[in-house]
A = this chain, B = another copy of it.
């Protein structure tokens, strides 16, 4: 380790630890200290700079709190390059904040991640919500149960689990994102190892980073995670949990084979880790070869933490989902819920409960499935016909998305593709968002059809084709 680059000409205006922090940040930003490089031991640097140990400790803390360093037990402090995706992430999120409502009609939206509203009968919903208010009165608004409204838990057990669960097993949450957050706070601590699929859902990556977890990626293949890769990680690391989307994985669209699920459940038992199953879209199976069997339903050793969202497929504005935890962590998970937001909106839970009981849920899902199958088939054709020689992709057989690889004869990266498409009012999701290291996603993008009807699908893909053509290597 060369200490010379750490030399600081101290001035009197600012505390020394701030000056050291600022200097090291510059070194990291400029690449003079590499991402992941170990910073000098505290004593060594304090001697070199003729300052107290505490000054260096404060500086390293400051670096850590600003995301420029991470600490590893028994090892020291390591440099961390700031997120290069920051601008892109902001612009991507802005897109959906700024372009909304009426405005959105002028866009072709291949980036939306939730079901669209055209088939939803607001009258059914109005009916159930009034029924709830008339039945429960002010209790519908005042009652707080940590686990959630008992009626809803009963009906979830009845309609989705054939009464195989106990209703105490079910915890109602405010959507799947909250489910991931609550579980993470309950079981993941700083420096714990978490395996994720590569690529994976960026909202989950964000949460695991918040907890200070070490994120390890295992490649996705056509029938789930690459097992060799996975086992290799298990050999070298003690793992807290594995985060997985078992059906129509986001973004790849891949679905786990039964064998793979069984094998992973065995590994979970052997290596003592949890499987966090994010079952976000398994209602939309179009391919009759795909059978629905969640990790949870195959779980005999109480290894699976199951998270179900109602918001993706149903209505995002109602923010509901549920989770099922293994017995041994149930109390922690419940505490985590209380200290996250006390409980989930009671009125919404009661309304959903009636909505399911009255049969509206099933009716609605069937309508959606029918419509999305049409869009899926049409989009598959369009991509093949129009983009065929420029990209490669797999057909997921369900869900909302196609994950697409840009062929090597096209010299454009996915972040650039995002900006160029956006300028032409087409919204896509660039692959760089789905990986721990952005470089891995430069050649991928995701196209979703949840918000976009057939006539727009074709037009959008033609625009993408023009942009890709302009980048073709001749």
A contact residues vs B (CB 8 Å cutoff): 42, 53, 56-58, 60-62, 64-65, 71, 73-75, 77, 90, 93, 97, 100-101, 114, 116-117, 120, 122, 125-126, 129-130, 133, 137-147, 174-175, 177-178, 181, 185, 189-192, 203, 206-207, 210, 212, 238, 240, 311, 315-319, 331, 335, 338-348
Contacts and interface: CB of A to CB of B under 8 A. Distances in A.
Contact of A145 (B100, B142, B144, B147): B100
Given A319-B342, A338-B93, A190 B212 contact: yes
B126 A138 contact: no
Nearest to A54: B74
A203 B58 contact: no
A412 B56 CA distance: 48
Contact of A73 (B64, B316, B340, B343): B64
Q: Which of A71, A175, A189, A207 has the most CB of B within 10 A?
A: A189
Copies per complex of this chain: 2
A142 B311 CA distance: 9
Contacts of A64: 73, 189-191
A237 to B, nearest CB: 10
Contacts of A311: 342
A80 to B, nearest CB: 12
Nearest to A188: B65
A238 to B, nearest CB: 6
A93 B126 CA distance: 35
A311 B114 CA distance: 28
B181 A339 contact: yes
B73 A61 contact: yes
Contacts of A206: 335, 339
Nearest to A126: B133
